[in-house]
Structure 1
Amino acid sequence: MSNPENTQTLLAHLLELRTRLVRGSVVYLLAFILCFTVSEQLYNLIAAPLTSVLPGQKLITVGIASPFMVQVKIAATVALLISLPHTLYQIWAFVAPGLYTHEKRFVLPLVVSSTLLFLAGMAFAYFFVFGVVFKFIASVVPASMQWLPDSAEYLDFVLGMFLAFGVTFEVPIAVVVLTHMGIVSVAKLRECRPYVVVGAFVIAAVVTPPDVVSQCLLAIPLWLLFEAGLLVSAWWKPGISSSDPNTSLTEHER
């Protein structure tokens, strides 16, 4: 027979989760509506790195509904980024009561730094990588060929590159988490440096277009971010483990 107190506690958690989900959905919907009203300006901003190197300075579209769907996809993506801080706060507010004090001190900086690093990766791709890659591609187009990029294909390419560079910039976080949790030591990661460098170029070859320039622009930051993660891990010593019976936390520290 189930315990009434456990049932009430579970029900309270489910109601709290529903509240957090509703709040997050409402904020995202409002952000989407706002972004869709300026979707044309957002499209021009996203297309700028490519249109700046195109002779006609315009992208083409071949689908009947493509002009609308492209703007919807752009508005949905930008709305997700705008509402991301609020979404992360809702997640934090839901899980924070069940965390220990030392876990809160570790998780909160982790969430903030990972968000900022992901946005930094997107900014690096937009302001630096796109310009270099598109200029290189435009320079190798034969004189007898007309280069007419499709807007929907370009948007998929941009979103893929944003995701690739955003995840790449999370490497320091992954290194810090692995060392902080004691899964692997900093010394062991340093020993694996040659394999990391090779792996960085392999990953870049898979997720980037088939040209050397874009591969290097992803692989080199990936390696440098790995080195940055090692430096941070060496500076930030692993905290006290709650599983250690000699250093267990009391109930009032929750």
Structure 2
Amino acid sequence: MLIRTARKNRKKSYDMEDSESQKPEKNPSPARKEDRKEDRKERRKEQEMERKREVERRKEIAREKEQEKQNQQKWHKELEKERQREKELQRDHLRQEASTSSKRVNAEITKFDDEFERDIEKLERSICQLDFRSKTMATMWMDKLRQPPHNAAEARSRNIIASHLLKCCGDNIFKMEPFNHPPPPQNLTSIREKMVLTRDSTCHGMPIARPKEPNANLTQLFSDSYDGGAFLRQLPVPRDGAFFIYHMQPNL
């Protein structure tokens, strides 16, 4: 019993000492006040320095972002310049190819033009002896041939047709198909391919167009009639329209 009482007394004394130690001093000494003041200054100074360091860190992050942005912009500009240089190189290459191709085609067309001029001059002199219709057809075909060719194939076809007309002018070529009609609107290459015309084609490969006999159908009708058209000659002829004839062969 005595032991328990002693323990309780010691515990109470400990609790009182602890509570008294936690209580602030009512009248601290001047040295103690000065120490506390210095502590507060140090804490404020550390807080201020921490705040400045935080500001510096944020500024550094902002500078890094700005630098990265500038680097990205610079990289995009360099990339765009590189693309522009590639496009310029491609355009130069295409222009050089087009120029080379154009020179090659123009040289070939010029060669064909020289040959055509010689043939067309000879053809002009050859058509002077033709009749009026043949000369008219010849003039229309020559005008067609004189149209500037768009490519070497057209120039080649023009020369082949002109050479054929010159070679066959004395064989009534302008009374043969298709030269006895005005030239069609197709290009000369299509016309030549349709005619299967070459430099070795003969002048009589196409039939000569014969003039149509006037009223050939009536002549044929009279000749097919049993009485030689005697009955038909007595019938009136309508000025406008047509009439129907049913011809029956009589029983003999």
TM-score class normalised by the smaller sequence: under 0.3
Asked which structure has the greater RCO (Cα within 8 Å, sep 6+), the reply is 1
TM (normalized to structure 2)? 0.23
TM (normalized to structure 1)? 0.22
Q: Which has the higher helix share?
A: 1
**Pair member with larger Rg:** 2
